[in-house]
Amino acid sequence: MRAHLRAGRGAGSLIVLLAVSPLVSAEFFVDCDRGEDAADGRTPGSAWRTLDRVNSAGFLPGDRILLHRGTRCEGMLRPLGSGAPDRPILLGAYGSGPLPIIDAGDNQAAIRLFNQDHWHLQEVETIGGNPFGILISGDSGPLYHFRIKDVVVHDVRGSAMNKESGLVVVTPGSAETTFHDVVIDGVTAHTSTQWAGILVGGDDFGGTPASPRSTDVTIRNCTVHDVHGDGIVLYQVDRGLIETSVAYRTGRIPTADVGTPNGIWTWMCDDCTVQYNEGYLTDSPGVDGGVFDIDYGCSNTVVQYNYAHDAAAYCVSIFGAYSTTRNSVIRYNVCAGNARDASKAYQGEIYLLTWGGGRIDGVQIHNNTIHWSPAADGFALNAAGARFSGDLPRRFENNIVYSTTPRLVDLRGDSGFELDHNIYWYGGPGAPLWRVGALTASRLADWRALGFDDASLHTDPLLVDPSHHDAGLPTRAFMPRRDSPAIDAGTTPQQAATRDLLGTPVPFGAAPDIGALEWHPLLRIEPGPIPWRHRAQSRGQRHGGPMLLAFVGTDETGALDASRKQVVFLRSMARQHAAAGLSVLLLADPAQDWDLRDVTVLEDEGGRGSQAFDVRRFPTTFLIDDRGFVRARWEGFTPAYRLDFAVRAVVSATRPTAYSSVPASPRNP
């Protein structure tokens, strides 16, 4: 007989050892339509019927709790026990059909883990719960290793009483509780009158930079929408990452009694990165209502490669309160059409503010593309309310500010900001306005005389479509045209990136371009006698939609391992985006075993394909749109998030762009 475990680490927990024997992992099956609680639950034919039966059992490291696809279970699932390193307990699905549903009704949550760790939750759907959909918490700790993957959580009920409520919530129940090694991947969380879409918090019992923090938290590939509070947020986390996710229609709570929300943000975090995300239609009943936010108490935070549009307030903020916010980097973001609510007090595409004795030490804002068209006449860069301290750099450089309002920059007189190598453009009536303290300038020459922007320009940056602000990042709208003054006009920032928003190497030319996208020409694949082209058609390869075309190496190139890793992610892209028409084509040595299932492999006969695409390094991957244009090129191994972000932008394009206006040239990649 195997050992069973009741409860967890908390007060009153009880460990019952039924027999002494080697621990053997087991599978337990649940079918809430046809199961029987009197059965043993060990096979699909003897599945349990109710969540109460699951909750009455105890589970051991390596066990698997599997719900039948298509079944609907009512109540709260609160299984007992913890896994162990390399032997997590898994909650998942079996069979075929739609995800199994846990309908929580008015229970506290649909799934609840308390003082337990080493758990994987995947491939389930939850409905209801008040105030949580999925809750992971405890009153002891630390707690380790959680995975929440490919779940759908929605319709959490009730009125938010605090910010530790919502759809997917990992939050402490005492000052001793922290969480470590948490990954939330592929979660869809929507429709809630509670606070957050996805929240992972550390110790929220004191709220100072010295408080204990959770560590190594990743949120990726997630979608959050129609929530009353924040979209995606990390509280008191060290080494946090939010990437390749989207949050929209957030902040719909009618009053500011609980607080004021944003789309995707961090608070009291150290070494956190927010990248390759999209946020839009974010709102708030009071201040805030922006998309991205480096909130007070953060240090070493990077907000990069994001797209924020149509928010009620700012694109990105940096706040300092009660302590010092240190070393904030905002780079390679596109901010378009934000500040849609004229009543919001915090306005600016880039907004900096301190209060309560707080300070900001170190700000590097570079290579962002800003289309500033607010509902009320505010400043695109608004730092007039921020106090600074320390010796870290304060720079605003290589940015494009394309404005429909004359107000461009507002700084405190003692801010110590350095501004240079920017392009500003206001072409409306009246003169543009720069302001520092009580001094103003209406010409760039006058602004330079005040000590700013010696190498900057006031001119049209000549972008392909600078006023674009639809959902889904367009791959070309914000790129400079071939005659743009932004090309090769930038400087190299102190914390320089090696890639732009779409993965193009920086610099692509003689120097970095100004703005979020490096200019490069579109390559065109013309129909012709290239053998792989015709063979692909004869094998049924689709050409009506976008394509990922990858050239992978062999042992002779020394790149076989990198190529094999790349193929794993290419297969993932094929599965995820097949419904949108994406096809994946691999040119390779067919003698190699590539373990292909969703990818077509063809032989690069005589290297003619590699020569046609000037491939000199393996693997090299191209993203090609449905018109035959190369939208992105990656040399060497490329991680999944970079592929996914570009692919999503291509397959979600909502209107045509004049791609032919950017012809090929000798700057061919």
Q: What is the DSSP string of 373-439?
A: --SS---SEEEEE--B-SSS-EEEES-EEEESSSEEEEE-TT---EEES-EEEE-SSS--EEEETTE
Please state the rounded mean pLDDT for residues 549-577: 78
Q: For the segment 347-356, what is each residue's pLDDT rounded down to a tens digit?
A: 999 999 999 9
Examine the pLDDT at 540 and tell me if it is beyond 70: no
505 domain-assigned: no
Omega within 30 of 0 (cis) for the link into 131: yes
CA 84/CA 100 separation, integer angstroms: 26
CA 380/CA 365 separation, integer angstroms: 13
**Percentage of the chain surpassing pLDDT 90?**
67
Question: What are the respective helix, strand and coil percentages of the chain, to the nearest 5?
Answer: 10, 35, 55
Domain-terminating residue out of 71, 105, 124: 124
535 domain-assigned: yes
Examine the pLDDT at 535 and tell me if it is beyond 80: no
Please give the pLDDT value at position 609.
Answer: 73
274 domain-assigned: no
199 domain-assigned: no
Examine the pLDDT at 173 and tell me if it is beyond 70: yes
User: Are 600 and 586 a contacting pair, CB within 8 Å?
Assistant: yes
Q: How many CB atoms sit inside 10 A of residue 634's CB?
A: 23
Nearest to 251 by CA among 303, 297, 197: 197
455 domain-assigned: no
CA 170/CA 172 separation, integer angstroms: 7
Task: Indicate which CATH number applies to the domain containing 584.
Answer: 3.40.30.10
Q: What counts of helices (H) and strands (E) characterise the chain?
A: 6, 46
| Domain encompassing residue 546 | 531-661
Please give the pLDDT value at position 207.
Answer: 67
90 domain-assigned: yes
Q: For the segment 62-114, what is each residue's pLDDT rounded down to a tens digit?
A: 999 999 999 999 999 999 999 999 999 999 999 999 999 999 999 999 999 99
Please give the pLDDT value at position 567.
Answer: 82
Please give the pLDDT value at position 17.
Answer: 34
Q: Exposed, middle or buried, 545 (CB in 10 Å: 0-12/13-18/19+)?
A: middle
Q: For the segment 469-502, what is each residue's pLDDT rounded down to a tens digit?
A: 888 877 678 999 999 999 999 999 998 999 999 8
CA 426/CA 434 separation, integer angstroms: 12
User: Are 126 and 104 a contacting pair, CB within 8 Å?
Assistant: yes
Sign of the CA dihedral with 610 first, then 614, 618, and 620 last: negative
Please give the pLDDT value at position 267.
Answer: 96
**CA angle centred on 86, ends 84 and 88, rounded to 5°:** 55
Sign of the CA dihedral with 394 first, then 381, 432, and 438 last: negative
Domain-terminating residue out of 124, 152, 168: 124
User: Are 339 and 374 a contacting pair, CB within 8 Å?
Assistant: yes
Number of folded domains that form the chain: 2
Q: For the segment 384-415, what is each residue's pLDDT rounded down to a tens digit?
A: 999 999 999 999 999 999 999 999 999 999 99
User: Are 548 and 570 a contacting pair, CB within 8 Å?
Assistant: yes
140 domain-assigned: no
Which single residue is written with the structure tokens 């909502």? 654
Given pLDDT bands bounded at 50, 70 and 90, which one contains residue 341? Answer: very high
User: Are 347 and 365 a contacting pair, CB within 8 Å?
Assistant: no
Please give the pLDDT value at position 649.
Answer: 79
- Per DSSP, 488 falls in state T
Domain-terminating residue out of 96, 124, 152: 124
595 domain-assigned: yes
Q: For the segment 258-286, what is each residue's pLDDT rounded down to a tens digit?
A: 999 999 999 999 999 999 999 999 999 99
Given pLDDT bands bounded at 50, 70 and 90, which one contains residue 206? Answer: low
CA 246/CA 224 separation, integer angstroms: 6
